[in-house]
Amino acid sequence: MHHEEQVRVIRTLMGHLDRGTNVDEGVIRKISVEDYTSTQRAEREWSAFFTDHPQVIGMSGDLPKAGSFITVNDFGVPLLATRSSDGRFRAFANVCRHRGTILEAAPRGERTRFVCPFHAWTFDNTGALIGVPKSDHFGQIDRACLGLIELPAQERHGLLWVHPKVDGALNASELLAGLDQEFETWDFANLVHTGDDTYQTPMNWKLAIDTFGETYHFEKLHRDTLAPVFYGNVQAYDTYGRNHRMALCVRSIDMMRSMPESDWHVTMGAFPVYYLFPNIQINVGRAAVTLVRVYPDKDNPDRSLSRVSFYARPEALAQDPDGLRSLSQGFGEIIRDEDYVVAAASHRGAQSGLVDHFLFGRNEPALHHYHKTYREALGLSALETLG
Ligand code: FES
Ligand SMILES: [Fe+2]
């Protein structure tokens, strides 16, 4: 984030604290509980957002060196992503060209050649077919035409983007919209991957996204965990196309009042949380960054999967590796044991048949924006306002 913008964000937060205000959407909106429970809707959003829309699959630190690979199975296409010897990030269907077996089973590792577990056809990490056992018995094939199926892939400002369709359009700069320049300043490309957690939760995936969309709940739900560190119900909020950025207010902002603005860094008094359409949250701390990817269960609107990945600044990791790991783990546990517990309970509320809509308050603008853009993308009508 450029310094001028950092100052603007901190000043916005200080202004809210001084006036006892928060961001104000101006209206309350109603959302039908069917948005979270409808099977038809689940099919529609899966098709639009998870089979035909670019996906962030990780950060550059997931492929730290030439020879690194990861596999992803969260949005229908079995995916193998590699970093080849020229440093390039590539993505392939993780599907052997002989008879379709999944080529690589491990979630991540280092390998420059991939040997199929079925008959040992071998591919390198640029996707080329480089070995066919007993090829004189198998028969003549054109190896050049039997490389792994490559998918559009782009690495930009430390994020790994893939389109799940071979001919899908992928332009990360456009997808980041107004955040493109800001992401450059965060130097995400140099982050070190420190671990992952996966949470399978009995709730619709949009309820998981919603939990990241306001700080109105901090003083109650996170009374003993986040509330001692953050001022709840105070945030700065900005939208960038379909994406948004919330800046949560950290209590240490009070110390910044006696510092010259030129010495301010936004992370001294704020905690930026970015949402990237359709399913990504990026939480940016001074020493560590958390990437959350939320996925529906394709066949069941009542279930979702969250992949939470932790990254650290190399200098911070060198100084205090144990401290950083426990910080990340603690953050993940708050999501799992506090946010997702109440969000799953909201899902049961939605299923009860006794409540037909939920409300988004004036102080929850991220929820308005997320559901507004989601609905627009599916060609649905706008949410009703209350009153
Ligand atoms: S299916 Fe992969 S080598 Fe036969
Ligand atoms: Fe929360």
Domain boundaries, the chain: 3-52+177-385, 55-169
In the numeric block, the tokens 């491990």 are attached to 106
Please check the confidence at residue 80 and state whether its pLDDT lies above 80.
yes
Predicted pLDDT at 242: 97
Predicted pLDDT at 274: 98
Q: Ligand 1 centre from 357 Cα, in Å?
A: 51
Q: CATH fold of 3-52+177-385, please?
A: Naphthalene 1,2-dioxygenase Alpha Subunit; Chain A, domain 1 (3.90.380)
> Is there a contact between 171 and 67 (Cβ–Cβ < 8 Å)?
no
Q: Ligand 1 centre from 75 Cα, in Å?
A: 23
- Torsions phi, psi for 201 (to 5 deg): -130, 140
Position 50, amino acid:
F
| 122 within ligand 1 shell (Cβ under 6 A) | no
Query: Atom of ligand 1 at shortest distance to CA of 103?
Result: 2
Q: Ligand 2 centre from 296 Cα, in Å?
A: 20
Predicted pLDDT at 378: 97
Position 61, amino acid:
G
Q: Would you call 318 exposed, middle or buried from its count of C-beta atoms within 10 A (0-12, 13-18, 19+)?
A: exposed
| 78 confidence band (pLDDT: 50, 70, 90) | very high
pTM, rounded to two decimals: 0.96
Query: Atom of ligand 1 at shortest distance to CA of 120?
Result: 3
Tens digit of each residue's pLDDT (9 = 90 or more) over 107-119: 999 999 999 999 9
Do domains 3-52+177-385 and 55-169 share one topology? The answer is no
Predicted pLDDT at 196: 95
How far is it, in rounded angstroms, from Cα 262 to Cα 2? 12
How far is it, in rounded angstroms, from Cα 92 to Cα 106? 15
Protein residue whose Cα sits closest to atom 4 of ligand 1:
119
CATH of the domain spanning 55-169 = 2.102.10.10
Q: Which ligand is nearest to the CA of 114?
A: 1
Q: Ligand 2 centre from 221 Cα, in Å?
A: 7
